[in-house]
Chain A
């Protein structure tokens, strides 16, 4: 036998002895060789990681098995460990240097912890479980979790999105001792549907339209079959997403509070429920921790799996029935890293043995590491008392799902895996989660400048133009493909108004067994982040919170999630933008007392095109849940009565940056409006008082397209025309007409109020930015906006609505 040190990794593996697992001699390899081995095995581990592993094994005085290396790679992958959010970052803003010791600890965890402490008993669990829980009432808690499935969706849009939703639903089933999934959200970022082929600068990239259709159908076919209403969502279109589309899937759940805490103890059995294990989905976690290139479309197909929602539905029915019978002690989903992550998480402290011979396979011949890390879908891993097994088996038969006992927890602290009578893995669980801290550099320099607003000669035409923009057009063709009413609890639906086709901000679900309801909202503003990531982060938190509050949620009882996507974290400018975004979300979240209860991040969303690498802009999705005290507080975004008065809450700034108007009129690097969070927070609390008193008929947030679009959208309910005068609009002295009509300053709500209540509402907002805007009318069916004596806009609502309704329908 030749000297292993001189062999390349391929030969090393070829010469290793056993057939189902191998011991790999790494002790004598140098950094280059270790990195080579990592690449060959598709471990996505860096040189430093490999050296750290070498050191651990040197201490243990032995060589690793391939199973162990795979387990460590999964555990240390960015996907599972979020190492960039834990990294030490040397950051420079406009020339000033600072050091961030873990973005997560500094800006997410610590901020949230302060909020938890200020609201005792509200957040019941955050960060450590599959999803964070907040208290709904004395009996029940609700949770929300969002994930990305970007790389799989780029390569195989249908299957990628399909399993993306399937995976996050399992997160909910694996939260606490098993939460019931009650509603889903989906948020996408695509290239524009009308992208020309010449603008796609790489081979084998799927056209945005193909990606969009595939992704929507993937979400549809999983969510609809699972019987979970898809109630909330958003789509952003930008050329930078052509190569790296983003697919966020989120699901909310409900659980009895007594079933949140879970613990595994020695002697318990570890069981798997649901689908079988196959070669599909190998290396998904490590694959998502690397960039895409043209070859990915061929070579990484193995990492994308096919979903089987009925398998998951059966497992879900089983899990919820077993939980109600008190048969579950611990549960987690089988997601990235498969059994290795699930069992690893479960046995982290306790330790135990997993016997791979027990695993039910889809096909014969899988070697040990394949069985242990396969990400085959629709599997849940549970810890149960041995005495509960007979009853659990009966339940599994009743719901026609497969139950397999995988192993036993033993209190040793060691994760031991056996296969064909060999010990193929024996790891000290405490070592498993100690990845080396990464050291990175970030830099951000101010990009915005004062830009002269364009002369607005024909505001009506500008408004019509906005209603054809992909950022604004109705998502109806997509929304109708999702069952958003299953479970019979969707009170505030994604489409509303007198004809059921007008836009809605947050959605609201009744919760069976409670008189309280849950609001769900999402916000993302990638356009803002291109020039001002801090303002983007701030405004995203604001918009999500504003949507929840607008729908009637108690501003004191909200929780939010942060889902980040970015390109190359090793590029200083890109990482710098991320740091600034994180600071922005943290600052506003703290003012609003809206804690982060869960979050996830996705890196390496860049693509090597023929013309060099293309990164996505740093993108933050803030999704949130809020508690609505009673059904009478539920407030929609559609104009309801023709005798109503309208008013605006919030300040209009002169900045046009980030707006759809600015993009369409080529205003580059225009300054982006800041979030005036203290003032906004005061407004939201006053608004909630008005809701509780029954003063508010409807309320719509001012977002993409600005005030003129917001007003028109409210009137798309078809109930009345609008007579508006902007003469008392609270705004910057130098705000242009364009800023008044189309600027996208955050923290603003347009409210509809019965005539007899307007004075009372105005009293509530004494000292805060608030102004009456005008009234609904039956005299005409136009959006008529004046500014003093000047008519700015006088457009038939039917025409605007028609533009808005058909904009996407043509492409979908």
Chain B
């Protein structure tokens, strides 16, 4: 049962990454690798959060680092710069529900502005959700960028000798 959960999590993340990637017009040859990276990244975040009890921010950082490292090795195969592979793969990890709750609490705060207790609660909720969504977004970008600094030479010559131009 646990295995099915993990696999389905990876599968849906792969579909999401390919779909969001399609908006940015990637080369067709990149799609399979985007899917693999997204599935591995999201499934590892799922495992970290559900089985090891890691918080969402740290888990996102680790998953983004895995995606970034993977894109260094896959990028060479399809002659794509790392960003082409890892940006779509990161998108399924965007903290959507937290971002939504931030906006929702803000609206409710305006609505309850004359009642000090309820207004306070909503404001607190907004700051809580806003902090989580901002930190996760920031950590996603940082985690995926670290491998670029560690493997600079390799990361900068991904498209050398491309057969696709």
Is chain B found bound to chain A in the same assembly?
no
A residues with a Cβ closer than 8 A to B are: none
B residues with a Cβ closer than 8 A to A are: none
